A and B are shown apart, each in its own frame.
Chain A
Amino acid sequence: MQKVGIGVSVPRKESQDKVTGLAIYNTDYLSPKLLYAWLVTSLYAHAEIKSIDTSEAFKVVGVQAVITGDSYHLLCGPVIEDHPPLAKEKVRYFGEPLAVVIANSEAVAKEAAGKVKVEYNPLPVVNSLASALKEGAPLVHENVAFYKQVKPNEIFSKAGTNIAQHVKIRKGDLPEGWRQSEVIVESNFSLPQSNHIAMEPRNAIAEIKADGQVIIHASTQAPFDVRKILCRCFNLADTQVIVNTPLVGGGFGGKTNVQLEIIAYLASQAVHGRAVKLIESREQDMTSSPGHLGLEARVKIGATRDGTMKALEITLEVDVGAYVDSGSQMTRAMAADCTGPYHIDHVWCDAYGVYTNHTYVTAFRGFGRLSYVFAIERTMDKLAFALGIDPLELRLKNALKSEDTTPTMVRLNKSSIGNLPACLTKIKSMMNWQEGVRRETGSNKVVAKGISCLWKTSSSPPDATSGAIITINEDGTLNLNVGTVEIGSGSKTSLAQILAEKLSMDVNKIHVVMDVNTGISPSHWKTVASMTNFMVGNAVLDAAEDLVEQLRSIASIVLRCPPEVLEVGGGKVYLKEDPEIYIEINEIGNGYEYPEGNSIGGQVIGRGSFIMHHLVHMDKDTGKGKLGPAWTVGAQAVEVEFDTQNYTYKILKAATVIDAGKVLNPKGARGTITGGMCMGLGYGSRESCLYGEGGERKNPQLRTYHLMRFGENPTYLVDFVETPLIVAPYGLRGIAEHGIIGIPAALANALTTAAQVELNQTPLTPETIWQAKRGKLDDSL
């Protein structure tokens, strides 16, 4: 028997489809019955809508309907319902959808959309966090107090201001912390909004059948959430909505948001339920649909002379854009982990989610950690410099360990926190840290290194659930059906590996149901937060146990022995004491027939489920609470070659060591980490949403918004530490997001060391380094 389970680099189950062009994504859903929708989007960031004239659009042959926001009394949103799916009365960001044309072809819909005439009355634009928080600032939302709060335990907005969320952490006694501190450092940071750029642009199809059944096909990370939100917005019953999700062409958090599904539903309604397909152009995907948050941060850290951290005061101002979506949740998540993975007794954090007239934001790989980690880790380097301590040693000295408490007062143990010191020790030798962090290599070139730590918990709802169903085929292979979507993380394959390991089976004998259909698939919270292998993995193990119990029960009759003496493995049920006495599972998986014809059993269906336990909402006044079952910790480093004359640089190496608990699929895990690192290098070095003076988006295209391209990537060094998380399948920890989290900070630390000037913002282009070097006011030669 060939056993292929945990710790083996199993190629992803959908490999053949993905290299032959046969893999089907939602964009590939074609049918002659489809109508096509095209969005009409706002040209202003903040303006009253005086009128929308659709008459010329209607004249284009092939147009079926044109809908505008003023026809609906509808507010949606996952946390607070502040968001009309189509702008009504006023627009709040450049690119905001305000009308939709539905036509026989995309070309016609697009042409007609160009003929919709919108008259605006421009309003003062809230174009930055500073202007949003100024006394008497124009309000992005005038009626925050009247919005329905879907999750009242999780949002604390301030009426009459642009503050949509305020999260407080009050741990210890801050004045006492300052008294104990001998060295205090402070810095301010600024990180812009950015885009997800999943290669498959966001898209959705909606159809409403005559009996009211709503069929959605969506490129989403959250099919069950799409169902939940559609039901809430339109007063539908759960059973009335079915959401189908095939392979998803990347998400990175951007497809957790429910937006196009709602608009496609409205579009279908307008054409008597016919199926309507809505695909965003790349430009719309980058402006009309949500991006990644922007952040301004102020950090003050106090420590004793030997480098023991005593106090932290941190203010986080999060640019959530025009609507809250999950911006409030990310604000909360950042505050909850605000210290970085360091033990500090006295912590104050005020985290504000702030409305602006920028594109709204949603989950992005790391759920906000990438941004605040930049602020903390840059300040750590500043502290190390002030103390004259090596930056890696300072981190090692303060790393969180068993018995320490987090900012939200969770007491840690070895299982929940893992082993950051081991990660730091490994990265130290991988990066040749002892040779020094800066060396001049001749002809104006400097090679410098920077380091960062990371940690992240799940920030999931306390009642997040997952399910799994296993059935047995006539040939003895298994079918595994789960509600997680395959967005590229390889989760379906990892889950098959977990099941293979549990049942001592060849993973090739486990078929996974690739697509998700909310009417058939066991439900799963969302494919997010690096939690799939943990949550669904636990459900799979539960289902496997259920399956084993049933198989032993039937086999005990056939083999004439008590079930307790039987074991299941390798596709057989066998006697523990004598494995030569066995029955193949395919003989009993769908009923067992005795030679004379009598039959027993019936179809064996393994059912499993999982629900989070002992998570606690954060206290409004102190932040005390528990947002996830455990943390994943890690250390990251970057080495750059910097030109001291023209401030260009080359990224030579990037390293990551993560405590993965248990590595399920080594090659897959490495790819997940290096992919995150590459994205982090892109964010640190070039990516940002540029807004003009009127809040209009300046770079909504891949020609002007640059991503890392082939060959610009450095040499990657990746290694793992394995400290088991005892409540997880085989001890694993989530690692899917983490590759990105510390990389922008490590890059900035390396460049700060290289350029010998504090670099406290991104993107770090030669120009921004030059500006920092010369002082902001002197920006002309």
Chain B
Amino acid sequence: MVNLVKMDLIELAVNGEKRLVMARPADTLLHVLREQLGLTGSKPSCKNGDCGACTVLIDGQPIKSCLMLAVEALGHEITTIEGLKDSPIQRAFIDKFAFQCGYCTSGFIMNCHALSVIHPDAGDETIREWLQSNLCRCTGYEEITEAIKSVLAQEPKENNG
């Protein structure tokens, strides 16, 4: 029988720092980031991988932190929205009015940021494929589209949208 109260001390690499946290085997990365490290920028919303509000970067790749156990993050570089400072996509989100209530914003920004690093020349199809993993209930996605496009290469190589 699983001992639910058993906790392990683990070291996570978060936003360039080594942080010690106590985690149960069943604790998600989202839970530990928020409840133990106070990094509440990553948001709980569906806790089922459907909405993307909890998106963080694991070694630069966007991951839904509600679907990853804290222990799975051992040995990986975790970047949360709090680790992103004055990046072009953050400025673009403000300039383009790409958020309203702001609850989905951290997740969208992390995903957009990773997209702009991994596929700086992404075209419409790639943008769509990436950003469909996040939900926004306030905007009609128009301003988020403008924001991501403004930080991607001016002349997309891919022109399939």
A19 touches B109 (CB 8 A): yes
How far is A656 from B88 in the complex, measured between Cα atoms in Å?
Answer: 31
Stretch at the interface among B69-77, B78-86, B152-160: B78-86
Number of interface residues of A (CB under 8 A): 60
**What residues of chain B lie closer than 8 Å to A709, measured between beta carbons?**
132, 135, 141
Q: When the two chains form their complex, are residues A199 and B97 in contact, meaning their CB atoms are under 8 A apart?
A: no
Q: Is A210 an interface residue (CB 8 A)?
A: no
Identify B137's interface contact among A9, A24, A707, CB under 8 A: A707
Q: How far does the Cβ of B132 sit from chain A's closest Cβ, in whole Å?
A: 5
9-residue interface stretch from A75-83, A242-250, A580-588: A242-250
Residues of A within 8 A of B40 (CB): 21, 24, 27-28, 30
Partner of A247, one of B42, B101, B106, B138: B101
Q: Check: A487 CB closer than 8 A to any chain B CB.
A: yes
Q: Report Cα–Cα, A707/B141, bound state, in Å.
A: 12
Question: Is B62 part of the binding interface, using a Cβ–Cβ cutoff of 8 Å?
Answer: no
Cα distance A696–B128 in the bound complex, in angstroms: 35
B78-114 interface code vs A (CB 8 A; 1 in, 0 out): 0011101000001101110101111111100100000
Among A473-481, A550-558, A669-677, the stretch in contact with B: A669-677
Q: Which of A19, A27, A487 contacts B105 (CB 8 A)?
A: A19
Complex interface: chain A residues within 8 A of B134 (CB) = 710
Contact: A20 with B51, CB < 8 Å?
Answer: no
Which residue of chain A has its CB nearest to the CB of B107?
A: A199
CB distance from B34 to the nearest CB of A (A): 7
B140 and A21 contact, CB distance less than 8 A: no
Contact digits for A484-497, partner B, Cβ 8 Å, 1 yes 0 no:
00011110000000
| Cα(A25)–Cα(B45), bound, Å | 12
B47: which of A281, A667, A668 is its contact (CB, 8 Å)? A281
In the complex with contacts A249-B103, A707-B135, A711-B132, A27-B44 CB distance below 8 A: yes
Tell me the minimal C-beta distance from B31 to chain A in angstroms.
Answer: 8
CB neighbours of A498 from chain B (8 A): none
Cβ of A703 within 8 Å of any chain B Cβ, yes or no, is: yes
Query: Contacts A11-B94, A675-B138, A709-B132; is A701 near B103 (CB within 8 Å)?
Result: no
From B26, B50, B81, contact of A21 by CB (8 A): B81
User: Which residues of chain A are within 8 angstroms of B51 by Cβ–Cβ distance?
Assistant: 199, 282, 702
Of A199, A247, A281, the contact of B136 (CB 8 Å cutoff): A199
Q: By the criterion CB–CB under 8 Å, are B81 and A20 in contact? A: yes
Known interface pairs A488-B102, A488-B138, A709-B132; A702-B43 also in contact (CB < 8 Å): no
Contact B41 A671 (CB under 8 A): no
A61 at the B interface (CB under 8 A):
yes
Choose among A12, A30, A675 the residue with the greatest number of B CB atoms under 10 Å from its CB: A675
Check A671–B103 contact: CB distance below 8 A: no
* A249-B102, A667-B97, A710-B132 as given contacts; A716 in contact with B140, CB under 8 Å: yes
> Which chain B residue lies CB-closest to A25?
B103
- Give the docked Cα–Cα distance between A111 and B139 (Å): 36
Q: Is A39 an interface residue (CB 8 A)?
A: no
A21 touches B100 (CB 8 A): no
Task: Select which of B26, B46, B94 is within 8 A of A107 by beta carbon.
Answer: B26
Known A-B contacts A20-B90, A678-B139; A248 and B101 likewise in contact (beta carbons under 8 Å): yes
Q: A19-B94, A488-B101, A711-B141 are in contact. Are A282 and B41 (CB under 8 A)?
A: no
Are A711 and B142 in contact (CB-based, < 8 A)? no
- Minimum CB–CB distance for A331 against chain B, Å: 25
Interchain CB contact under 8 A, A702 and B132:
no
Closest A residue to B106 using CB positions: A21
User: Which residues does chain A contribute within 8 Å of B94, judged by CB atoms?
Assistant: 11, 15-16, 19
Within 8 A of B (CB), among A16-49: 16-25, 27-28, 30
CB proximity to A under 8 Å, residues B47-66: 47-48, 50-51, 53
The CA-CA distance from A765 to B86 in the complex, in Å, is 43
Distance of A674 Cα from B138 Cα, bound (Å)? 9
**Chain A residues whose CB sits within 8 angstroms of the CB of B101 once the complex forms:** 198-200, 247-251, 487-488
Contact with B along A639-680 (1 / 0, CB 8 A): 000000000000000000000000000011001101101110
Contact A200 B43 (CB under 8 A): yes
Report A282-294 CB contacts with B as 1/0, cut-off 8 Å.
1000000000000
Q: Using Cβ atoms and an 8 Å threshold, which residues of chain A touch B1?
A: none
Contacts of B27 in A (CB 8 A): 107
Partner of B131, one of A14, A701, A710: A710
Asked whether B5 lies within 8 Å of A702 as measured between CB atoms, the reply is: no
Chain B, residue nearest A667 (CB): B97
**Which residues of chain A are near B16, meaning CB under 8 Å?**
none
Say yes or no: B104 contacts A199, CB within 8 Å. yes
Residues of A with C-beta under 8 A to B53? 199
Residue of A nearest to B53 (CB): A199
Chain B CB within 8 A of A713 CB: yes
Q: How far is the CA of A98 from the CA of B91 in the complex (A)?
A: 46
Please determine whether A671 and B80 come into contact, CB atoms closer than 8 angstroms.
no
CA distance A709 to B94 in the complex (A): 21
**Do residues B141 and A713 form an inter-chain contact, with CB atoms below 8 A?**
yes
B90→A19 contact, CB < 8 A: yes
Q: Is B122 an interface residue (CB 8 A)?
A: no
Which residues of chain B have C-beta atoms less than 8 A from A201's C-beta?
Answer: 44-45
Expressed in whole angstroms, the Cα–Cα distance for A398 and B82 within the complex equals 55
B41 adjacent to A197 (CB under 8 Å): no
**Assembly CA distance A250 to B135 (angstroms):** 13
Asked if residues B135 and A199 are in contact (CB atoms below 8 Å), the reply is yes
Take A30-B38, A61-B5, A668-B97 as given contacts and tell me if A677 and B135 are in contact as well, using a CB distance cutoff of 8 Å: no
CA separation between A488 and B50, bound complex, in Å?
22
Given contacts A22-B82, A488-B101, A709-B132, contact A252 B141 (CB under 8 A): no
Given the complex, which residues of B lie within 8 Å of A23, measured CB to CB?
102
**Alpha-carbon distance between A279 and B4 when the two chains are bound, in angstroms:** 21
Query: Could you list 25 examples of A-B contacts with CB < 8 Å?
Result: A11-B94, A11-B97, A18-B93, A22-B82, A24-B40, A27-B40, A28-B34, A108-B4, A199-B43, A199-B103, A199-B135, A199-B136, A199-B138, A250-B137, A252-B137, A282-B46, A488-B138, A678-B140, A701-B48, A702-B135, A703-B48, A710-B128, A710-B144, A711-B131, A711-B132
Known: A282-B47, A702-B50. 11 other contacts (CB 8 A): A9-B97, A22-B41, A107-B27, A199-B51, A200-B45, A249-B103, A671-B139, A703-B48, A703-B50, A707-B135, A713-B142
Top-3 shortest CB links A-B: A21-B41, A488-B101, A249-B103
